[in-house]
Amino acid sequence: MIDLNTYPSPVAKMFKARRLELGMTQDELATKVSRLLPDGERLSQQSYAAFERGKSQTSKYSIQIARVLGIELDRLTSRDAPHHQPLEFSEKALENRALLLGPIDVWDDDTPLDDDEVEVPLLKEVELSAGSGRVSIQAHSKAKLRFGSITLRKMGVQPENAVCVSIYGNSMEPVLPHGSTAGVDRGKTSIKDGDIYALDHNGHLRVKLLYRLPSGGIRLRSFNRDEHPDEEYTPEQIQLQDINILGRVFWYSVLR
């Protein structure tokens, strides 16, 4: 007879298969997950190993594990998962997770909208004058993305506040690799520690995890902390470097 209390859950099997596919050890995975956690928290290799073996049926760091492994979060809660055993998340984890809606369509002004669709502008960096090196963030002249207005409202996003941005570089890998697209809610600029936000940093478009500092400053964190260490800014530096929060990332799409 199989002891279900010591049998790996479908999610644990999914994590293990993906980890092996990436050639990642349990210790490497635990280290990468720990870098996404608030200061003072960490996932040990022993705790993760217990989850993979079925000694522990749930992990409170499942969302962070999925991010490191590049697994879409919707797969963890889908009722189509093996044995119909959706993973249980904490209320805070559900509140903070980004919605993955799959591939997106780029369209132009000549493409008609469906009845429930709204056009969402795509922001980009634009050089203000040739060779000056100065840039500003502006809406793309033609390229836009289409979203269902009902879907946006279900996520608590007013359609007029929705914009999209493109991810450049490797600072947010493996969750947001180069070329990803993120949906941003410009109506939500108050920082919730550990959430993902789009920033205007002196005209440059950046996407980072944000944390508040006791002094009133902010910490910018990348998923790829090996190559991109944390950045901390005091209130004075925030003003001097013209750092403005554009909004909270509520959706992202990763195309490989």
Tens digits of per-residue pLDDT, 85-121?
A: 333 333 333 333 333 333 444 444 555 555 667 788 8
Angle at 247 (CA atoms; ends 242, 251), nearest 5 degrees: 140
Q: What is the pLDDT at residue 97?
A: 37
Interatomic CA distance for residues 233 and 213, integer angstroms: 9
pLDDT digits (tens, 9 = 90+) for 214-249: 889 999 999 888 899 999 999 999 999 999 999 999
Q: Which CATH architecture has domain 4-96?
A: Orthogonal Bundle (1.10)
Cis, peptide link before residue 174, omega less than 30° from 0: yes
What is the β-pairing status of strands 196-201 and 204-212?
Answer: antiparallel
Q: Between β-strands 181-185 and 196-201, what pairing exists: parallel, antiparallel or unpaired? A: unpaired
Mean pLDDT value of segment 125-151: 71
pLDDT tier, 145 (very low <50, low <70, confident <90, very high otherwise): confident
Q: Say what the pLDDT of residue 10 is.
A: 80
Mean pLDDT of the chain: 77
Give 109 or 42, the one with higher predicted confidence: 42
Cross-strand bridge partners of residue 221: 209
Percent of the chain scoring above 90 in pLDDT = 24
Question: Residue 31: which of 17, 19, 14, 18 has the closest Cα?
Answer: 19
pLDDT: which is higher, 207 or 120: 207
- Give the number of C-alpha atoms closer than 13 A to the C-alpha of residue 220, restricted to the C-beta side: 20
Average pLDDT estimate for 177-199: 90
> What stretch(es) of the chain map to CATH 2.10.109.10?
106-253
Average pLDDT on 12-29 reads 89
Q: The tokens 């997770």 sit on which residue?
A: 97
**DSSP letter for each residue of 173-226:** TTTS-TT-EEEEETT--S--TT-EEEEEETTEEEEEEEEE-TTS-EEEE-S-TT
DSSP letter string over 78-99? -TTSGGG-PPP--HHHHHHPPB
Higher pLDDT, 99 or 52: 52
Range list for CATH 1.10.260.40 in the chain? 4-96
Alpha-carbon distance of 100 to 16, in angstroms, equals: 22
Torsion-angle region of 169 (φ positive above 0: left; ψ -120 to 50: alpha; else: beta): left
Q: What is the mean pLDDT of residues 146-154?
A: 79
pLDDT in tens, 60-94: 788 888 888 888 765 664 433 433 333 333 333 33
| CATH class as words, domain 106-253 | mainly beta
- At residue 78, the pLDDT reads 47
List, in order, residues 6 or more apart from 29 with CB less than 8 Å away.
19, 48, 65, 68, 69
